[in-house]
Structure 1
Amino acid sequence: MHAMTISEFGGPRALVPVELPDPRPAAGQITIDTSHAAVGLVDALFRRGDLADRPGFPQPPFVPGLEVAGTVRELGEGVTGFEVGEPVVTLSQMSLGGYASVTPAEAAMTVSLKECDVDPAQAVAVLPNAVTAYLALTRVAHLREGESVLVHGAAGGLAAAFPAVARSLGASHITGTVTSGARIADTTHLDYDEILISDDFVKALDGRKVDVVVDPVGGAVRTASLDVLAPLGRILLLGHAARTPDTPVTGDELWSRSVGMLGFAVGPYLQTDPYAARPAAEHVIALLADGTLTQRVDELPLSEAAEAHRRLEAREVPGRIVLTI
């Protein structure tokens, strides 16, 4: 099979093309003839080695890629409910392997697209992040009908899934933040009630409080978010795109404000409870099929994976980058 591997930790040029044997599915797995592979910030973290010292995280050489779309190639032992040739999309799987013409995937982490007419590039760009949004809002933040939501990095690939999912769960008012006025145009297709500039969002809210903050950014906006939380408000920690570290927050600060900060990493979580994925997918796939969930997608061929990573880290792409295979 054709694949791009991370040969060593480093910059985008660490991604190099290779030919590898076609993988066979283990018990409980399927293999997928990959047509599209999503590119995410976590791929860049793996490539740079930012997560290399954590147990279970990959060491070079390895094939990156957590999310793919394509058609079922082969069923592993014990797999039912899928058939060869069926269109599918995977959720965020920590086994990686997506930057390749054939991808092994856990059947429990794979969603059929047979019953809905969805473009596979949109499916792989949107569905995994929408499942993340659903699980984060329901199982971690426990969003209640009528609550307000603030989403940082509103135009980013992960954040962009939250407005539609939060609205479907009954959120009353959804605010997004972006880094500059120029990025506001990148959010017009999303279901935000208002967009603020992240440097002065506290001032712009003018005393209004929010119930749930969705934060894949970290750094200064994470600390500032404490000042806009309503009593019993929650900050969802979903990543750290900022180039600056967090300011430490003490337990005393949280209890005195009656607020919480809750971390959620969907890949490791679904490794421990893969069957949580299916009900989440069933909720959000309907939003994808009717056009409520959508994303701006830039497509590049697999051979240009290094360029995709360069664009991602330069923040040149609103929405998501998808590799075509």
Structure 2
Amino acid sequence: MKAVQATHYGDPNVLEVVELPDPTPGPGEITIDVTHAAVGLVDLFFREGRFKDRPGMPQPPFVPGLEVAGTVRALGDGVAGFTVGERVVSMSNGGINGYASVFIAQAALVVSLEGYDIDPALAVSVVPNAAMAHIALTRVARLVEGESVLIHGALGGFSSAFPGIAKQLGASRIVGTVRASKLEAAATTKLPYGKIVDSAEFLTALGEERFDVVIDPVGGEVRSRSLEVMRPGGRLIACGNASGDWGHSIETDRLWLGSVAFMGFNAGAYIPAHPDTVRPALEAAVSAVAAGLGRTEVDVLPFSQAVTAHERMTNRSLKGRIALTPGESA
């Protein structure tokens, strides 16, 4: 099979297209002929070696990629409910191996696209993240119909999955924040935001408006300032650290004084402990995307341009998502 491999830790140039043996599925597994693999921020973190000293993190050489779309190639023992040739989307169990023309998935992390008119590039870019957003909103934030939601980094790969799911769950108000350089793109987004404001000025822009749930994959000072726009009883979900401010902290006295809660959501930790949440979340995600609640721009590049894809992710020169395809042309 063709794959994009990180040969070492380092900059995007460590990515190389290689030939590897075709994998075969074990019990409870499905092999997928990949048409599209999503490119995400965590792929960059793994490639750079940010988590190299943590147990279980990928060591070079490895194939990045968390999510794929394609068709079922073969079924392992004990797998039911899927057929060879069926269009599917899958999340990764270990956070890697997606940038390959053949992918092995745990059957529990695969959802069918049959019966839905969803482009596979959009599906791989939105469905897995929307499933995680569904779990975060229903099981961690416990979003109640009629509540309001503020989403930082509103157009980012993970954040952009939240407004559609929040809308599906009955949120009354959905507001986003982005960097000033993203405001032009925000003005034309088809995602179901009520409005999107400058993240550097969001306290002023929001005035007296308060929120029941805040989604924060940004971290740093954005996280601290979010306390000022949370309604008593509000919940902030910390689900990333795009700011890179790993030393940031929150004064816990501010939590009890404001009667708010801060919670973390890391799919890699949560899903293995709560596997029963995955299937309903994936089905809800497909339904939301089919209903037009996950519309975002997706640029498709061949595996041979994986370096370019990572460079664009690094310098943020994209309006939506990037997906890679094994073919030589997009």
Query: Normalized against structure 1, the TM-score is what?
Result: 0.96
How many Å separate the matches in 2 of 1:135 and 1:241?
21
Q: Is the 8 A contact 1:222 1:246 kept in 2?
A: no
Partner residue in 2 for 1:215: 216
Q: Deviations over 1:258-290 (max 9, x none)?
A: 111111111332233333211112222112113
Q: SS at 2:9's partner residue?
A: coil
How many Å separate the matches in 2 of 1:286 and 1:45?
30
Structure 1 runs not aligned, ≥5 long: none
Cα offset, 1:220, TM superposition: 1.4
Which shows bigger deviation, 273-282 or 97-106? 273-282
How many Å separate the matches in 1 of 2:291 and 2:258?
40
Q: SS at 1:211's partner residue?
A: strand
Partner residue in 1 for 2:13: 13
Q: SS at 1:250's partner residue?
A: coil
Q: Deviations over 1:187-216 (max 9, x none)?
A: 531111111111111122112211111111
How many Å separate the matches in 2 of 1:269 and 1:308?
28
How many Å separate the matches in 2 of 1:169 and 1:242?
29
Q: Deviations over 1:25-81 (max 9, x none)?
A: 111101111110000000000000111122111111111111000111111111111
Which shows bigger deviation, 60-69 or 276-285? 276-285
Q: Is the 8 A contact 2:52 2:59 kept in 1?
A: yes
Q: Deviations over 1:208-227 (max 9, x none)?
A: 21111111111111111011
Structure 2 runs not aligned, ≥5 long: none
Partner residue in 1 for 2:306: 305
Cα offset, 1:116, TM superposition: 1.3
- Map 1:54-133 onto structure 2 (within 5 A): 54-133=54-133
Cα offset, 1:168, TM superposition: 1.3
Partner residue in 2 for 1:267: 268
Q: SS at 1:38's partner residue?
A: strand
| Aligned AA (1:57) | M
Q: SS at 1:126's partner residue?
A: helix
Query: What count of residue pairs does the alignment treat as equivalent?
Result: 325
| Aligned AA (1:6) | A
Which shows bigger deviation, 89-98 or 79-88? 89-98
Q: SS at 2:129's partner residue?
A: helix
Partner residue in 2 for 1:289: 290
How many Å separate the matches in 2 of 1:19 and 1:225?
47
Partner residue in 1 for 2:141: 141
How many Å separate the matches in 2 of 1:95 and 1:249?
29
4+ residue stretches of structure 1 with deviation over 4 A?
none
Change (3 A) 1:20 1:272: same
Cα offset, 1:95, TM superposition: 4.8
How many Å separate the matches in 2 of 1:182 and 1:129?
20
How many Å separate the matches in 1 of 2:80 and 2:170?
35
Change (3 A) 1:87 1:198: same
Provide the alpha-carbon RMSD of the alignment: 1.4
| Aligned AA (1:306) | V
How many Å separate the matches in 2 of 1:121 and 1:271?
26
How many Å separate the matches in 2 of 1:50 and 1:5?
17
Q: Is the 8 A contact 1:92 1:266 kept in 2?
A: no
Q: SS at 1:313's partner residue?
A: helix
